[in-house]
Structure 1
């Protein structure tokens, strides 16, 4: 029985997981590897920080989704891939065989700005030192609890490192978390390397600035973060800002698995794939989401592309198992982008059109919940090939 292995049970694999009964009916075995029995949806993570959602509301029960459809789920973390032996090696040492492999291993927030040295405590447990990278998403739930705990005693000082979409959403929702309940509130500072949201139209940037002024969230533009210490942020200009909570939202890098495996990668370490989402040097390896670099054209690290890759991966993985022609992936045109700034307020942007308000948040909430509901069921979906 040909073996399809899904390394990662993330956004780009949702349609494949839904089609497990159909794949099994055609004589294929499906196995998925994931670090836990649930997979959190990154698009709703900041909303969890702000209190709009619970962890269960923003996550897929991937283990049940796979096992109830007839697949096998292995709890583990991928360490390397051995394409010569068609094996995926887990950190536990377990080796999992495959005939066709698809990777959706996600990305991580680089931690190279964390101070280290003989006078700095170990950063092994960042959460215990109130330092929270925006990934893994699950950490934002614990960050909310910690903010509210600190706010019981004092006005909590919150620093956000980064000037992109993730940092803006985290800053807005961290402020909401601090102001919720009966605590003493909080002060939020955002430190951007260059201009705030530098790739966004000025209207979007203006809406964010206006919202943050109303909340007294201070934006430091052209202020690169040199290092993060326990309880402080040191800027390249020598300024130091004391913080009770620090969030790291300095962009993401693809999983380090591919470079460690000797596979062909891009400069940032993403698995290089062709128009079929396939590794050219190893045709039985495919990938989607943040962990890949799409060689035909650059793609932003946004969830919309993982969602659009779903049907192509669904088709191509089965086609590769059966020796049939592959379909190319078309990234499509512009996409709708909505920032959740917390408190039921959002900013919507598409093709130069932008507005802010509660309607924008309600649109995002509807789209996100619909996506969760579409795939977070344990029966199969209709998937015609």
Structure 2
């Protein structure tokens, strides 16, 4: 008997399932994909899009077109609740969809842990990635009027890449010395190897980007970044890069979640409480061991999710997900250089960026070709 498969999101963990839609549909199953945009943007190339190194079409997948050309149904909308007893998902517009098997790749968001109040310049979170297009346009408008003061709040890799690529954007727009400050909290890149931190700090400071450490941002109010130390810094434009959290959808739906609020899944990427619900990517908490919020795990989950979703529809055996070992990290510093880090090997410069650019473009070509 044909069954209903619903996918929440068209992100990295669902790529192979989307590619295999003809197989699902050819077996008589109906597949519906719900996503808030017709496109899915690749976060690893987002800072480069901010700088202008990449155009939007370089870093996005045409999810809606891919689904519909393969015989699936695409619903433009945002899922706000899952009812596991009725086996329905509920959308922001009031619509609901039934499912027999559900897979969640709902992504993550940047929590607004810093209060924003009063008047002042634009404040952008670094996700969703497509909002960086709006940020780019507004920064360019500010650059026409002078030398905009840009604040990046956060001390992780995202803050480093955003600051470096904002510098590139403004420099290319004619600002010889863009005024950019990173408010890094305790320490810039405090959780990465020291050689990476040293290289990143040296690259940013050599371009006049100021790194402020050992203090925390208390609030953003009336065009100023206010610190715990009672100091105020004027800012015409603010990026918030304060880490990411899983979508609140699962906790709001009363589903079992991990400490970070992500959908709790077992070694099969399956909810232990509701075996017809699966998930992957940033929105899950992997019960066997916590996983870093990096795209490599979503990519590694692809074949397991594809297999297990079909197995769940047809009563087959499930496969276990093995996260694998160490993974490659390469930072895009915005000046055609990068920092490469894997298994203790760290190097920087143009070769590091060339490797990242090659890997990212190859990944995009693979799935865009579908």
Aligned pairs for 1:163-182 (under 5 A) are 163-182=155-174
Name the TM-score, length of structure 1 as normaliser. 0.94
Aligned pairs for 1:83-162 (under 5 A) are 83-116=84-117, 120=118, 129-162=121-154
Structure 2 residue 281 is matched with structure 1 residue 283? no
C-alpha RMSD of the superposition: 1.2
Partner SS, residue 338 of structure 1? strand
Measured in 1, the distance between the counterparts of 2:113 and 2:346 equals 35
Structure 2 unaligned spans of 5+: none
Judge conservation of contact 1:81–1:87 (CA < 8 Å) in 2: yes
Cα deviation digits, residues 33-54 of structure 1 (max 9, x gap):
0111111111100000111011
2:190 counterpart residue number: 198
Structure 2 residue 230 is matched with structure 1 residue 243? no
Aligned pairs for 1:177-326 (under 5 A) are 177-183=169-175, 185-326=177-318
Structure 1 unaligned spans of 5+: 122-127, 379-385
Shift of the alpha carbon at 1:183?
4.3
Shift of the alpha carbon at 1:214?
1.2
Partner SS, residue 190 of structure 1? strand
Judge conservation of contact 1:105–1:255 (CA < 8 Å) in 2: yes
Measured in 2, the distance between the counterparts of 1:85 and 1:371 equals 38
Shift of the alpha carbon at 1:112?
3.0
Judge conservation of contact 1:156–1:184 (CA < 8 Å) in 2: no
Distance 1:230 1:313, change over 3 A: farther
Cα deviation digits, residues 62-90 of structure 1 (max 9, x gap):
00111111111000000100000110000
Shift of the alpha carbon at 1:185?
4.6
Distance 1:186 1:66, change over 3 A: same
Shift of the alpha carbon at 1:182?
3.0
Judge conservation of contact 1:76–1:91 (CA < 8 Å) in 2: yes
Measured in 2, the distance between the counterparts of 1:184 and 1:114 equals 32
Out of 341, 357, 364, the residue aligned to residue 365 of structure 1 is 357
Name the TM-score, length of structure 2 as normaliser. 0.97
Distance 1:209 1:356, change over 3 A: same
Shift of the alpha carbon at 1:184?
5.7
Measured in 2, the distance between the counterparts of 1:10 and 1:327 equals 21
Judge conservation of contact 1:130–1:245 (CA < 8 Å) in 2: yes
Measured in 2, the distance between the counterparts of 1:129 and 1:150 equals 10
1:58 counterpart residue number: 59
Aligned length: 369
Shift of the alpha carbon at 1:268?
2.1
Shift of the alpha carbon at 1:377?
2.9
Measured in 2, the distance between the counterparts of 1:375 and 1:195 equals 37
Measured in 2, the distance between the counterparts of 1:230 and 1:28 equals 54
Structure 2 residue 344 is matched with structure 1 residue 344? no
Measured in 2, the distance between the counterparts of 1:105 and 1:133 equals 17
